[in-house]
Amino acid sequence: MEKALNRQRVLLHHLRPNSSLSSATQTHESSALSASICAAGNSAAYHRTAAFGDDIVIVAAYRTAICKAKRGGFKDTLADDLLAPVLKAVIERTNLNPSEVGDIVVGTVLAPGSLRAIECRMAAFYAGFPDTVPIRTVNRQCSSGLQAVADVAAFIKAGYYDIGIAAGVECMTVDSIGSVRTLNPKAEAFAQARDCLLPMGVTSENVARRYGVTRQEQDQAAVESHRRAAAATASGKFKDEIVPVSTKVVDPKTGEERRVTISVDDGIRPNANMTDLAKLKPAFKSDGTTTAGNASQVSDGAGAVLLMKRSVAIQKGLPIIGVFRSFAAVGVDPAVMGIGPAAAIPVAVKSAGLELGDIDLFEINEAFASQYVYCQKKLELDSEKVNVNGGAIALGHPLGATGARCVATLLNEMKRRGKDCRFGVISMCIGSGMGAAAVLERGDTVDELCNARTCS
């Protein structure tokens, strides 16, 4: 009970423009605190209504299958043709008039900014959006898709528009991480500036060495990622979140073109095992522990998330599948950029008025097994709550799309688990030394709580 009251006080404190309140106001708050505690348990004390009012909700989240770059199902699919199907799906499956969308924000990383922005605009037209709907891109590297979601939520909350789409796309078949064209000599005098240029695999080795993550731990994490992803695929868990994409695949030897429909992630290896992974040589350092088997796959994919004000969703009769509760981006040492989630998650959770123990599920991007293992250990997370359907080691990591993919995967799993699963976290590390995290609430929990008590 005391824990619930403390959480209420934190939430109410965030609402105060001035921490000095009158005794009458304090009495009113005390009454509100007491009234909010009921038989539904401590989680019912999460003061949603008064604290958030007309909050920001998610009514749809879809993704394409994720395919291996250069070898997989999307190797001959252009970025605009990859993005268009998920943009179209969020509109068609909700029967929303596309002209009502205030903005489309697309996370994307590797392609030249102005070129990809044009391709995204083209994709919006393919998907059926009128020319009155604007679109822009955002690049916070590996968290770009999640940053797009946070940006749209913030713009809706600020009142710039009521409905927005956050998306992400990456074609790693075509675009790759390049080196800085002209290195500023000044970087030599700044160690952390130099570390921003480190290959991501080297930062993975730094994490493993600095924090004592063993090769065996990394390989075991990879095996588990593939096992869980394979089980999720076999049981049909991903069907509701994946939008089938009709495209072409060209035979590299004959040039023959085949029409195909891609609806299954093609990077999952159900038979991944410790013996086979142990045979792989280190990819970045001769004496290292990071291999092609315990790092995320280079992939092609896209995703899209439809957000709006709660009042608008209710007015339109749309199902609320999630509530956007908080977001945080933080900086860390560039030499060990993979520790980002361990720094960002506590900040996002605290911002939501919660504690780590309140979080039921985590989606932590598996950029490298070294950093994924470290973050779990650092935060003392229950492995049965983290990446329960596998992660980027098995599914792949199309950089700009990963955040949107995680939203779809997390909310669908929370929906399946029902009342026993209320809060979820999405997090990832970010190249050059950052981390990002967001807290989402399962959409129908408020309705359940209202049935258990009188809602204000």
Q: Is 421 a catalytic residue?
A: no
pLDDT grade for 38, boundaries at 50, 70 and 90: very low
The tally of CA atoms less than 13 A away on the side-chain side of residue 434 is 15
Contact (CB, 8 A) for 68 and 297 = yes
Mean pLDDT of 32-51: 38
Mean pLDDT of 348-371: 97
User: To the nearest whole percent, how much of the chain has pLDDT over 70?
Assistant: 86
pLDDT of residue 178: 76
Q: Is 397 a catalytic residue?
A: yes
pLDDT of residue 258: 95
Mean pLDDT of 235-239: 97
Range in 174-178, 293-297, 408-412 with the lowest mean pLDDT: 174-178
Angle at 426 between CA 221 and CA 337, to 5 degrees: 65
Question: Between residues 35 and 110, which one has the greater pLDDT?
Answer: 110
pLDDT of residue 309: 97
User: Per the residue annotation, which of 47, 375, 397, 421 is the catalytic one?
Assistant: 397
Asked if the model's pLDDT at residue 16 lies above 50, the reply is: no
Q: Collapsing DSSP states into helix, strand and coil, what is residue 370?
A: helix
pLDDT grade for 447, boundaries at 50, 70 and 90: low
Range in 107-116, 174-183, 301-310, 407-416 with the lowest mean pLDDT: 174-183
Structure tokens at 101: 């969308």
Mean pLDDT of 279-296: 96
Inter-axis angle of helices 369-379 and 200-211, to 10 degrees? 40
pLDDT of residue 176: 84
Angle at 3 between CA 436 and CA 47, to 5 degrees: 70
pLDDT of residue 22: 40
Mean pLDDT computed over every residue of the chain = 89
Of 169, 180, 143, the C-alpha closest to 62 is 169
Mean pLDDT of 82-109: 98
pLDDT grade for 177, boundaries at 50, 70 and 90: confident
Asked if the model's pLDDT at residue 254 lies above 80, the reply is: yes
pLDDT of residue 445: 62
Asked if the model's pLDDT at residue 47 lies above 80, the reply is: no
Q: How far is CA 341 from the centre of its chain?
A: 12
Radius of gyration of the chain (CA): 22
Domain ranges of the chain: 54-175+190-439
Question: Between residues 205 and 26, which one has the greater pLDDT?
Answer: 205
Tell me the residue ranges of DSSP E strands in 143-225. Answer: 163-171
Asked if the model's pLDDT at residue 37 lies above 80, the reply is: no
Structure tokens at 412: 């669908």
pLDDT of residue 182: 86
Q: What does the alpha-carbon distance between residue 214 and residue 150 come to, in Å, rounded to a whole number?
A: 35
Q: Which residues of 13-35 are buried (b: 16+ CB within 10 A; e: fewer)?
A: eeeeeeeeeeeeeeeebeeebee
Asked if the model's pLDDT at residue 52 lies above 90, the reply is: no
User: To the nearest whole percent, how much of the chain has pLDDT over 90?
Assistant: 81
* Tens digit of each residue's pLDDT (9 = 90 or more) over 178-222: 777 788 999 989 999 999 999 999 999 999 999 999 999 999 999
Q: Which residues have CB under 8 Å from 109's CB, separation 6+?
A: 139, 141, 142, 144, 170, 399, 400
* Tens digit of each residue's pLDDT (9 = 90 or more) over 370-403: 999 999 999 999 999 999 999 999 999 999 999 9
pLDDT of residue 62: 98
pLDDT of residue 180: 75
Q: What is the DSSP string of 131-152?
A: TTS-EEEE--GGGHHHHHHHHH
Question: Between residues 145 and 181, which one has the greater pLDDT?
Answer: 145
User: Per the residue annotation, which of 67, 120, 142, 406 is the catalytic one?
Assistant: 142
Contact (CB, 8 A) for 292 and 409 = no
pLDDT of residue 387: 98
pLDDT of residue 456: 39
54-175+190-439: CATH topology: Peroxisomal Thiolase; Chain A, domain 1 (3.40.47)
pLDDT of residue 53: 62
